């Protein structure tokens, strides 16, 4: 599958310029609304009271409007989004994202044939309400992380995560199920 057509050069420069301004804006409460403004102008789909620390990174073929951040989402610094035109990342309300988390909605095919591209596999990522994702985590395409789940630091999430599960590792496996007295 072809990822998508090339992004218009001027649109690419415009987006990169605004992200550069976003990325040099200090992570102080005074600048929260300014950083949110830059992301909205770039095209991110952002709800109320979203806080995103700089810097963030998007892959060159990412369509910013396919990144949807609901109310009260917090995203720490150095988070990367790879969300081409035919995929989405949806992060529901009250979710916490630690630094250095990668959202990768595209993966390449395994079969190598000389003089042919490997192709691409696309899929969405859904992060449900109240999820906490630890530092240095990678989340791959076609994954849903259900409500209240916790992803341990340094994990690779390549399969769905059930409600109130703590998962970790490479690949991520269930560590514990969260109960009221946990």
Active site residues: 108
Taking the C-alpha atoms of residue 145 and residue 163, their distance in angstroms, rounded to an integer, is 8
Question: Which residues touch 133 (CB under 8 Å, ≥6 apart)?
Answer: 95, 96, 97, 98, 101, 127, 139, 145, 151
Question: 132 forms bridges with which residues in the sheet?
Answer: 96, 150
Question: 52 forms bridges with which residues in the sheet?
Answer: 75
Helix axes 9-23, 32-42, angle to 10 degrees: 170
Helices (H), 64-143: none
Q: Are 165 and 181 in contact (CB under 8 A)?
A: no
């Amino acid at each position: 599958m072809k990822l998508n057509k090339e992004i218009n050069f001027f649109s690419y420069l415009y987006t990169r310029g605004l992200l550069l301004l976003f990325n040099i804006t200090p992570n102080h409460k005074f600048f929260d609304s300014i950083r949110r403004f830059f992301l909205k102008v770039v095209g991110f789909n952002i709800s109320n009271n979203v806080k995103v620390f700089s810097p963030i990174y998007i892959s060159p073929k990412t369509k910013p409007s396919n990144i949807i951040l609901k109310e009260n989402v917090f995203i720490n610094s150095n988070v990367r989004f790879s969300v081409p035109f035919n995929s989405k990342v949806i992060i529901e309300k009250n979710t916490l994202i630690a630094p250095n988390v990668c959202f990768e909605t595209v993966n390449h095919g395994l079969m190598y044939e000389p003089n042919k591209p490997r192709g691409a596999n696309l899929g969405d990522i859904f992060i449900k309400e109240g999820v906490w994702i630890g530092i240095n985590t990678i989340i791959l395409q076609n994954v849903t992380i259900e409500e209240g789940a916790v992803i341990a630091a340094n994990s690779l999430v390549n399969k769905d995560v059930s409600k109130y599960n703590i998962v970790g590792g490479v690949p991520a496996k269930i560590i514990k199920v969260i109960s009221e007295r946990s």
